[in-house]
Structure 1
């Protein structure tokens, strides 16, 4: 366990990363981190303002180690691959979903993804605003799927899904189309294809009349 004399920002980030991998986000607090370092919370606050900043620092550290794919092909193909690579790489970080829920940044090195995506989008002739909007929607789609997958993994085997608990006759009174789909909802949900969804989102933006204006 480090002594107070060795507690600097690098040591704090390293210890926080160990705790996140071992205990998850819920197990990380400034007080517990201070105990891990053999220090006091106030000492940590000299280097890190709060837990949110700490999570950003850890994610920046991790993002710098990730070997993001360098896609090739048309701008459309590159955008699709960037979205899928983002989902794949982030899914390997077990505790990433609770952090994403807080809105914490995934770290400056991960901006390389945004840069490659935006570069490809601008090559198609779309405006900066539309390119950035497409990047944000792709990001939300990929990370929302991560959150959904994490929730499924944490759900007890005997816990019913919402579509198993709901009364179809009640639904039919306010949402007849949903009621008609309920018997097949589980199969359709299981068949969701993230690549197809990202591709459709990108294709839809590119094919929209006046998309470059």
Structure 2
């Protein structure tokens, strides 16, 4: 009589590949969080010896980047359109929803960058949309960095239990010297996490697109001024 094989024994007989490792790592993270992820536990989840896992992934940091890369595939990017601001808002909102749904990502970002090929999709989308519409590489780079840092900061703050770094609550009696803060605090408290993210994102983009309309007088005389005017006109086309 042949006994049925257990799931663990079946996994042990399967050839080990990176997709298997990524799938097992995501199961562990969703079940136990970032603190419960280790190379030893991952090997147990796969039914393999740790040495077999290390042949495919050098350490936990590389594993976290692979898992972040896999989650990044779920970010939805809109099709090309005439309004880069609208497209960027939609892409950043999707990234926020996807990444916030996996709290371990914010925890991992505190320890260092999580990098992968797929995770570059959002940056490529933002940069390409802006450059194609007339922004210089420098202007596009500044905007992309600002959006990414805002997104990461929002995720980390929310994960830490402090989604709003507001100075005080209106209930504090010792804040009488700050009447405007006391008046505004309840308004901030009423906003959902998504509303706070969306509001900040739109303020950030409005500021950048307004600056793109504003010509700056660079040093270097008339020739430099003419070059600056050309760049400003190109940048203005983005919002026009």
TM-score of the two chains, using structure 1 as the length reference? 0.76
User: For the Cα contact (< 8 Å) 1:71–1:82, is it kept in 2?
Assistant: no
- For residues 90-118 of structure 1, what are the alpha-carbon distances to aligned partners after superposition, in whole Å with 9 as ceiling and x for unaligned? 22324322123233336322322222211
1:197 and 1:80, CA in 2 relative to 1: closer, same or farther beyond 3 A? same
Match among 12, 18, 32 for residue 3 of structure 1: 12
Of the two, which has the highest radius of gyration?
A: 2
Retained in 1: the 8 A contact 2:130–2:140? yes
**Size of the alignment, in residue pairs?**
200
User: Where in structure 2 are the equivalents of 1:171-210 lying within 5 Å?
Assistant: 179-184=178-183, 186-190=185-189, 191=191, 193-208=196-211, 209-210=214-215
Quote the offset at 1:139 in angstroms: 1.4
RMSD of equivalent CA atoms = 3.1
3-state DSSP of counterpart to 2:114: coil
1:163 to 168, 188, 200: 168
- Distance across 2 between alignment mates of 1:206 and 1:67: 23
Q: Which moved more, 1:86-95 or 1:62-71?
A: 62-71
TM-score of the superposition, structure 2-length normalised? 0.69
Give me the whole-angstrom Cα distance separating, in 2, the residues matched to 1:121 and 1:59.
25
Q: What is the SS of the residue equivalent to 1:163?
A: coil
Could you list the runs of 5+ residues in structure 1 that have no partner in the other structure?
155-160
The equivalent residue for 2:236 is none
